[in-house]
């Protein structure tokens, strides 16, 4: 029978054997998968592991600082890289979702490669790939039918010539969380909703600018904090907000406004392959909608997404 303790012991032993005295580099995302994978590798080989956490300018509000802090507390050897501007420059003028994903993926690899080259004699690339990522990238992404390219799967540029180590690639999300808890990783990381690698870059429909990121971060923060304050966060598999590329007419005092529309989305799922929209209480939605419109400049309308996957997907892009 599968237990997290047996898995941890076996995996740590296996990693020790496999990696020996080599060095490993690994990108962290702030998510549960990469955090658990890094902790396992760290347990096996200690500071032979160097982690890189990139601020792509598409993270949630305050996320980079908060998560970097948690990593340091966990004893991980982690380098934080502020590359916001590099990502915004690469995204400039791009509107197609796949073009945006490719640009974000490309810059991530460039930044990551720059950092990896600073580590002398690194041989391995650690990845937080979990089982559903493996399946989805095989089944969804035939050469003729690329639905969405998940850049965190197999995202290894040839020129890096590193061998990949993926300690979680047989596990489902709930098992990863169990392992993370057994490793005593803080609950703010373990219980964290999944978040796409391209981050807010694919939740800002159309072209991405620093200003739009700022607006969406504020909206997203009110929604997510609201879910936490109302005890709803843990009942939701994933939640977030989309900044729509349209404006709508509103009224503020006796002024007519013509401003942005945001969509809120909260879904229940097991592995992200199918998902149902969550019936959040009307009271809660009303309160959050008011708070967003009153507090976030440039937004005058909030809608709630009631589509399930399939046929919709979780993300809008
Ligand atoms: P979809 O939108 O395909 O999302 O229903 C399923 C899950 O995957 C996440 N997602 C991504 N994750 N890179 C990622 O790392 C991506 O390009 C990407 N697109 C979607 C999404 O947030 C959900 O958890």
Looking at ligand 1, which atom is closest to the CA of residue 312? 5
pLDDT at residue 189 tops 60: yes
What's the confidence (pLDDT) of residue 191? 92
Regarding the beta carbon of 18 and ligand 1, being less than 6 Å apart is answered no
The reply to whether 46 sits in an annotated binding site is no
pLDDT at residue 4 tops 90: yes
CA 206 from centroid of its chain's CA atoms:
19
With beta carbons less than 8 A apart as the criterion, state whether 57 and 87 touch. yes
Phi, psi of 23 (to 5 degrees): -100, 145
Q: Do the interacting molecules here have an ipTM over 0.90?
A: yes
Residue 130 to residue 172: CA distance in whole angstroms? 6
Count H helices, E strands: the chain? Answer: 10, 9
Residue with tokens 């596990």: 171
Regarding the beta carbon of 265 and ligand 1, being less than 6 Å apart is answered no
3-class DSSP string for 10-42: HHHHHHHHHHCCCEEEEEECCCHHHHHHHHHHH
pLDDT band, very low/low/confident/very high, at 139 (cuts 50, 70, 90)? low
Regarding the beta carbon of 314 and ligand 1, being less than 6 Å apart is answered yes
pLDDT at residue 154 tops 60: no
Closest residue (by CA) to atom 21 of ligand 1?
196
pLDDT at residue 156 tops 80: no
Q: Percent of the chain beyond pLDDT 70?
A: 92
Looking at ligand 1, which atom is closest to the CA of residue 240? 22
pLDDT digits (tens, 9 = 90+) for 54-102: 999 999 999 999 999 999 999 999 999 999 999 999 999 999 999 999 9
The reply to whether 164 sits in an annotated binding site is no
Looking at ligand 1, which atom is closest to the CA of residue 316? 2
pLDDT at residue 7 tops 90: yes
pLDDT at residue 231 tops 60: yes
Closest residue (by CA) to atom 7 of ligand 1?
272
**Domains detected in the chain:** 4-190 (3.40.50.620), 203-304 (3.30.300.10)
What's the confidence (pLDDT) of residue 142? 39
Closest residue (by CA) to atom 16 of ligand 1?
150
pLDDT at residue 141 tops 80: no
Looking at ligand 1, which atom is closest to the CA of residue 147? 3
Q: Within a 13 Å sphere around the CA of 180, how many CA atoms are in the beta-carbon half?
A: 26
pLDDT digits (tens, 9 = 90+) for 96-137: 999 999 999 999 999 999 999 899 999 999 999 999 888 876
pLDDT digits (tens, 9 = 90+) for 238-293: 999 999 999 999 998 899 999 999 999 999 998 889 999 999 999 999 999 999 99
Closest residue (by CA) to atom 6 of ligand 1?
272
Regarding the beta carbon of 30 and ligand 1, being less than 6 Å apart is answered no
Regarding the beta carbon of 197 and ligand 1, being less than 6 Å apart is answered yes
What's the confidence (pLDDT) of residue 144? 38
Regarding the beta carbon of 132 and ligand 1, being less than 6 Å apart is answered no
Q: Percent of the chain beyond pLDDT 90?
A: 85
Regarding the beta carbon of 309 and ligand 1, being less than 6 Å apart is answered yes
What's the confidence (pLDDT) of residue 151? 46
The reply to whether 33 sits in an annotated binding site is yes
Where are the extended beta strands (E) located within 89-155?
122-126
With beta carbons less than 8 A apart as the criterion, state whether 221 and 208 touch. no
The token duo for 240 is 């977030």
State the chain's mean pLDDT as an integer.
Answer: 92
Looking at ligand 1, which atom is closest to the CA of residue 153? 15
């Amino acid at each position: 029978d599968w237990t997290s303790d047996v898995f941890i012991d076996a995996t740590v032993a296996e990693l020790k054997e496999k990696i020996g005295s080599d060095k490993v580099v690994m990108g962290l995302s702030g998510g549960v998968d990469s955090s658990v994978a890094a902790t396992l590798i760290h347990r096996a080989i200690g500071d032979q592991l160097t982690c890189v956490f990139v601020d792509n300018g598409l993270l949630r509000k305050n996320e980079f600082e908060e998560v970097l802090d948690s990593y340091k507390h966990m004893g991980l050897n982690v380098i934080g890289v502020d590359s916001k501007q590099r990502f915004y420059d690469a995204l400039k003028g791009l509107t197609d979702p796949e073009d945006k994903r490719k640009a974000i993926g490309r810059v991530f690899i460039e930044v990551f490669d720059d950092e990896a080259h600073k580590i002398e004699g690194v041989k391995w690339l650690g990845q937080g790939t979990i089982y559903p990522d493996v399946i989805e990238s095989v089944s969804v992404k035939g050469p003729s039918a690329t639905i969405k390219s998940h850049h965190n799967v197999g995202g290894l540029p040839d020129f890096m010539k590193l061998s990949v180590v993926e300690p979680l690639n047989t596990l489902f999300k709930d098992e990863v969380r169990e392992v993370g808890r057994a490793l005593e990783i803080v609950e703010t990381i373990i219980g964290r909703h999944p978040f796409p690698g391209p981050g807010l870059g694919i939740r800002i429909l159309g072209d991405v600018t620093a200003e739009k990121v700022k607006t969406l971060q504020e909206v997203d923060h009110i929604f997510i904090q609201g879910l936490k304050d109302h005890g709803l966060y843990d009942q939701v598999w994933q939640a977030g907000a989309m900044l729509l590329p349209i404006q709508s007419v509103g009224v503020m005092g006796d002024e007519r406004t013509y401003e942005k529309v945001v969509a809120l989305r909260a879904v229940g799922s097991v592995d992200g392959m199918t998902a149902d929209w969550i019936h959040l209480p009307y009271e809660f939605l009303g309160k959050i909608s008011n708070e967003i419109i009153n507090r976030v400049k440039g937004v005058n309308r909030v809608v709630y997404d009631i589509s399930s996957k399939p046929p919709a997907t979780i993300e809008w892009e």
